[in-house]
Amino acid sequence: MTQQLSWEVLQSIVQSQSIEQLSMQQLDELFHAEKDMMAFLPDSVCQIDPRNGELIVYNSTRARRPHDSGIPDARLAIDEKPCVICQGKTTGVVDVAQLSQGATFINKNLFPIIYPLQNILEEYRQQPLYPDPMHTGRVSYGFHFLQWTSTQHDQDWHTLSLDDGVIVLQRLAALEGKLLYESGALMPPSEMPPPRKSTHGFVSIIKNHGRLAGGSLAHGHQQIGCSNIMPSRFYNNWCFAQRHDGENFSHYLLRENPVELQVRDYGEAVLLVPYFMRRPYDMLLVVKNTERQYVHELTDAEIRAVTQGIQDAIRALIRIMPLLGREPAFNMTINNGPGAGLYLEFLAHTQEIGGFEQLGLWVCQESTTNAAAYLRENLVVR
Ligand SMILES: [Zn+2]
């Protein structure tokens, strides 16, 4: 029988049926009440690589995660050990929505990369980054959530119906909106000078699928970080718009990316291979209305188009990678905030990262034209 988290067990760990019902204060208290999390708290320190502005946060306790103890054990954790999520052995749930079968839900990451510190000094709440002449690091804090795509162990974007996928994305959007608009007492403004939308902090949404791409649990999930620090990709998007007289990256890409690299058009969004593809089958899913900055700003039609794009991209990678002799592994990231427009990136683990790549010289084993054509073929065949 397929594993799944039953409705009864799920209800026993539900603290809130919907994220909209919780105040930030209550959310903060729920994080502090997770006693099992205390052994795995992050160092709450962020350093910046002065060469490229990349941020490094430290969590020296993370190496102790039970499912991360070396490669052989990690494989066991993914494939064979009873799933802790299916057993309901996880943190309190803050949002649940029923799907046609089972449910999708959001809870707190037991092994957080950021944590809501108490008594953050006012100066740290003024701006995301500030000088650090002694190199002691800057404080990093916030909330780290997990969204479990389905209570059914083997269900994820690629197996869900479109209607169920839409619900999963809508709940992600609700969490994103909550964090951006209601965390003003804790987080610095999302832009300097502060944006007219009065959003605070940075909401990073990612998915790791497959052991080789950092997925440490097989049960399909997304990770959501709400941090005071701005990930460097967000900063790059913002800089891009500054350099291009206010044109954001999505707008530029829709104008410049060669039409033969389009994989599929969904009306409100388009899936494409970027002309600067770094690894075979890397894809971008771009929302055509480039005024959009965040997932919660999307209309129902846009949410539906983005869901279709996510499902197609993931299905294609899961189909193609075994044909390349590789186990499916990829990262999905959502690029939101100023300067991005709104786009998702699918980064396939189709090649290792070598020394040239570490120098910033990416050697890609496939052409963009071939990759786009092959992806189109693999979308048609289901
Ligand atoms: Zn499971």
305-322 pLDDT per residue, tens: 999 999 999 999 999 999
Closest by alpha carbon to 258, among 274, 271, 243? 274
Name the pLDDT band for 182 (thresholds 50, 70, 90).
Answer: very high
- State the Rg of the chain over Cα: 20
The pocket of ion ligand 1, defined by CB under 5 A, consists of 83, 85-86, 153, 219
| Residues linked to residue 347 through DSSP beta bridges, in sequence order | 331
* pLDDT for residue 119: 81
* pLDDT for residue 61: 81
Name the pLDDT band for 125 (thresholds 50, 70, 90).
Answer: confident
* pLDDT for residue 171: 98
* pLDDT for residue 183: 93
* pLDDT for residue 65: 66
Compute the distance from residue 299 Cα to the ligand 1 centre, in Å: 32
C-alpha dihedral, 354 to 204 to 155 to 73, nearest 10°: 50
Cα–Cα distance between 77 and 111 in angstroms, integer?
16
From the number of C-beta atoms within 10 Å of its C-beta (0-12, 13-18, 19+), residue 144 rates as: buried
* pLDDT for residue 220: 96
From the number of C-beta atoms within 10 Å of its C-beta (0-12, 13-18, 19+), residue 89 rates as: middle
Percent of the chain at pLDDT > 90 equals 83
Compute the distance from residue 104 Cα to the ligand 1 centre, in Å: 12
Percent of the chain at pLDDT > 70 equals 94
- What residues contact 367, with CB distance under 8 A and at least 6 apart? none
With b for 16 or more beta-carbon neighbours within 10 A and e for fewer, the 41-70 pattern comes to bbebebbbeeeeeebebebeebeebeeeee
Compute the distance from residue 83 Cα to the ligand 1 centre, in Å: 5
Compute the distance from residue 14 Cα to the ligand 1 centre, in Å: 17
Compute the distance from residue 338 Cα to the ligand 1 centre, in Å: 36
- What residues contact 148, with CB distance under 8 A and at least 6 apart? 5, 85, 104, 105, 106, 107, 219, 220, 221
What's the rounded mean pLDDT across residues 114-130? 85
Higher pLDDT, 371 or 2: 371
Are the CB atoms for 368 and 270 separated by under 8 Å?
A: no
Compute the distance from residue 4 Cα to the ligand 1 centre, in Å: 6
The maximal CA–CA distance of the chain, rounded, in angstroms, is: 58
Compute the distance from residue 219 Cα to the ligand 1 centre, in Å: 5
pLDDT of 205 strictly over 70: yes
User: Which residue's structure tokens are 């963009």?
Assistant: 368
Compute the distance from residue 90 Cα to the ligand 1 centre, in Å: 11
53-107 pLDDT per residue, tens: 899 999 888 776 665 544 444 444 455 678 999 999 999 999 999 999 999 999 9
Cα–Cα distance between 182 and 197 in angstroms, integer?
12
- What residues contact 84, with CB distance under 8 A and at least 6 apart? 90, 217
Three-state DSSP state, 158: coil
Q: Which long-range contacts (CB under 8 A, 24 or more apart) does 36-41 make?
A: 36/91, 36/110, 37/91, 37/108, 37/110, 37/111, 37/112, 37/115, 39/64, 40/64, 40/65, 40/110, 40/111, 40/112, 41/112, 41/115
Compute the distance from residue 220 Cα to the ligand 1 centre, in Å: 8
Compute the distance from residue 169 Cα to the ligand 1 centre, in Å: 20
Compute the distance from residue 85 Cα to the ligand 1 centre, in Å: 5
Compute the distance from residue 54 Cα to the ligand 1 centre, in Å: 34
Compute the distance from residue 226 Cα to the ligand 1 centre, in Å: 25
Compute the distance from residue 323 Cα to the ligand 1 centre, in Å: 26
* pLDDT for residue 67: 59
Compute the distance from residue 339 Cα to the ligand 1 centre, in Å: 37
Pair of tokens at residue 9: 């067990």
0.85 cut: is pTM over it? yes
Compute the distance from residue 380 Cα to the ligand 1 centre, in Å: 30
Compute the distance from residue 225 Cα to the ligand 1 centre, in Å: 22
Of 100-114, 122-136, 282-296, minimum mean pLDDT range: 122-136
Higher pLDDT, 332 or 76: 332
Compute the distance from residue 87 Cα to the ligand 1 centre, in Å: 7
Compute the distance from residue 80 Cα to the ligand 1 centre, in Å: 11
Side chain identity at residue 184, one-letter code:
G
- Alpha helices in 80-231, H assignment, sequence order: 162-182
User: Which residue's structure tokens are 């964090």?
Assistant: 179
Compute the distance from residue 109 Cα to the ligand 1 centre, in Å: 15
What's the rounded mean pLDDT across residues 158-169? 98
Count the Cβ atoms, other than its own, within 10 Å of residue 355. 8
- Going along the chain from its start, the domains and CATH numbers come out as 1-230 (3.30.428.10), 246-382 (3.30.428.10)
State the DSSP string of 113-143.
SS---SS--GGGGT-S----TT---EE--EE
- The average confidence (pLDDT) of the chain is 92
pLDDT of 196 strictly over 90: no
Three-state DSSP state, 187: coil
